C-alpha cells in the first residue's frame, strides 16, 4: 500500500484506438516509447481466452468474431430492409460496424496513480478484475471484449480496456449502440430537466458511476485513494483545470496509440503491396504458361487438321480407284456373259449340224 494518496483515472475514447496497439501485434521497432524487452510480460485478457501473459496478436480477430456473432442478425435484417427500399448501397457488414466511427469498440484507459506514485501492477490488475465482475453483474449491456495491462511503456502501468455497448432494435436484434444500451439500463443524464448535450448526457452519469466503483474497489484492496476533487491551493489547479490535464494525458496516450496504428497500417500497406506485386507476377507467369499451352494446342490442332486432310485425300483416291475397279469388273462380267452366250450358240449350231449329219446317214442306209 502506498503512503501518498493516488487518484483513479478513467479516460474513455472511441476514435484513435487500436486492438493491435494493445496486444502489440505490430512492428515495435516503430514505437520508440515502448520497451520491447518488457512487452513479453504485459498481461492480456479477452472474453474468449481469459488472462494470459505476452503478445498474442489475437485481439482484433477475437473482437471481430464477437461482432460477427452478436450483430449478424441485425445487420442481415437491416440489409434486407435496404434491399426492399432499393437502397442496397446502404448495406453493411459486421466488419463495417467494427470499424464504424460510432459503432466500433469503446476503449477505456485506466490509471491508479501516476508516473511517480502508482499502484503495484498486480494490484491494478486485481482491482480491474473485480471491476470487470461488477460490470458484468450490474450492467450486462456493456460487454468487455479485451484488456491489456501495459508494463512496457514510459510512465505508470496502465490498462487499455475495450468494450461495446449493446442495445436492441425494434425487432429485438442486438445492435452496437451506446445510447440504446444506457437507456435500456436506466442510466439518465445528470440533469433530466435539460436536453441531452455534450455536457449533459447519460454517458457522463455512467462514467461517474464507473469511476466511483473503481475507487471503492481500489480502497478495498488497501490503496490510499484520493476520491475528492483537489482544491486549487493543494494541487495548483482548479477541478476543471485538473480534469483538462487528465484528459490531455489520456489524449496523449491515445494519440500515441493512433500514431502506432498509422505506422502499422503503413507497414501493412507495404506488405500488401509487395504481396500484390508477387501475386501479379505469379498471375503473369501463369498467363504466359497458359498462352504457351494455347499456342501448343493450336499447333497440334493444325497438325491433326493436316493429317486429316491427307487421310481425306487418300480416302478419295482409294474411292476413285475402287470405282474404276468396279467399272472394270462390270465390263469383264459383260464380256464373260457375251462369251458364254457365244459358246452356247456355237454348241447349239454344232448340235444342229450333228443332228443333220445323222439324218443323212440314216437316209442313205435305207
Is residue 281 classed exposed, middle or buried when 0-12, 13-18 and 19+ CB atoms within 10 A define those classes? exposed
Judged by average pLDDT, the poorest of 6-10, 158-162, 240-244, 340-344 is 240-244
For every residue of 1-69, DSSP letters joined together read: --SS-B-EEEEEE-TT--HHHHTT-S-GGG-TTB-HHHHTT-EEEETTTEEEES--S-HHHHHHHHHHH
Residue pLDDT, tens place only, 154-213: 888 999 999 999 999 999 999 999 999 999 999 999 999 999 998 899 999 999 999 999
Residue closest to 218 by CA, chosen among 63, 111, 104 = 111
Which tens digit of pLDDT belongs to each residue from 56-100? 778 999 999 999 999 999 999 999 999 999 999 999 999 999 999
Proportion of the chain above pLDDT 90, given as a percent: 44
* pLDDT single digits (tens) 94-151: 999 999 999 999 999 999 998 889 999 999 999 999 999 999 999 999 999 999 999 8
Q: Which of the four pLDDT bands, split at 50, 70 and 90, describes residue 365?
A: low
340: its cell numbers: 458364254
Contact in structure between 196 and 188 (CB atoms under 8 Å): no
Task: Answer with the residue of higher pLDDT: 235 or 29.
Answer: 29
| Distance set, CA 359 to CA 13, 131, 365 (Å) | 150, 155, 10
Lowest mean pLDDT among 11-20, 241-250, 265-274, 335-344: 241-250
Cβ contact 182:140 at 8 Å? no
Amino acid at each position: 500500500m502506498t503512503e501518498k494518496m493516488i487518484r483513479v483515472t478513467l479516460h474513455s475514447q472511441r476514435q484513435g484506438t487500436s486492438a493491435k496497439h494493445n496486444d502489440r501485434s505490430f512492428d515495435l521497432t516503430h514505437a520508440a516509447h515502448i520497451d520491447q524487452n518488457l512487452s513479453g510480460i504485459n498481461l492480456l485478457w479477452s472474453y474468449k481466452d481469459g488472462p494470459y501473459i505476452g503478445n498474442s496478436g489475437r485481439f482484433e480477430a477475437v473482437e471481430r468474431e464477437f461482432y460477427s456473432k452478436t450483430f449478424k442478425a441485425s445487420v442481415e435484417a437491416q440489409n434486407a430492409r435496404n434491399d426492399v427500399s432499393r437502397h442496397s448501397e446502404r448495406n453493411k457488414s459486421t466488419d463495417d460496424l467494427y470499424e464504424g466511427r460510432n459503432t466500433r469498440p469503446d476503449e477505456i484507459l485506466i490509471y491508479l496513480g501516476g508516473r511517480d506514485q502508482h499502484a503495484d501492477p498486480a494490484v491494478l490488475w486485481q482491482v480491474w478484475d473485480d471491476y470487470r465482475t461488477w460490470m458484468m453483474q450490474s450492467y450486462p449491456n456493456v460487454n468487455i471484449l479485451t484488456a491489456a495491462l501495459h508494463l512496457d511503456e514510459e510512465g505508470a502501468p496502465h490498462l487499455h480496456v475495450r468494450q461495446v455497448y449493446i442495445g436492441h432494435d425494434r425487432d429485438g436484434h442486438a445492435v452496437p449502440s451506446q445510447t440504446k444500451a444506457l437507456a435500456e439500463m436506466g442510466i439518465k443524464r445528470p440533469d433530466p430537466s435539460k436536453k441531452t448535450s455534450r455536457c449533459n448526457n447519460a454517458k457522463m452519469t455512467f462514467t461517474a458511476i464507473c469511476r466511483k466503483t473503481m475507487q471503492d474497489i481500489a480502497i478495498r484492496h488497501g490503496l490510499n485513494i484520493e476520491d475528492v476533487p483537489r482544491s486549487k491551493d493543494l494541487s495548483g489547479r482548479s477541478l476543471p483545470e485538473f480534469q483538462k490535464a487528465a484528459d490531455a494525458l489520456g489524449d496523449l496516450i491515445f494519440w500515441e496509440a493512433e500514431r502506432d496504428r498509422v505506422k502499422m497500417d503503413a507497414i501493412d500497406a507495404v506488405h500488401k503491396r509487395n504481396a500484390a506485386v508477387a501475386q501479379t507476377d505469379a498471375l503473369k507467369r501463369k498467363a504466359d504458361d497458359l498462352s504457351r499451352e494455347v499456342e501448343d494446342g493450336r499447333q497440334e490442332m493444325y497438325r491433326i487438321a493436316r493429317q486429316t486432310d491427307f487421310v481425306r485425300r487418300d480416302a478419295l483416291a482409294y474411292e476413285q480407284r475402287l470405282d474404276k475397279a468396279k467399272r472394270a469388273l462390270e465390263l469383264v462380267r459383260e464380256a464373260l456373259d457375251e462369251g458364254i452366250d457365244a459358246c452356247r450358240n456355237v454348241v447349239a449350231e454344232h448340235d444342229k449340224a450333228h443332228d443333220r449329219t445323222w439324218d443323212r446317214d440314216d437316209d442313205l442306209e435305207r
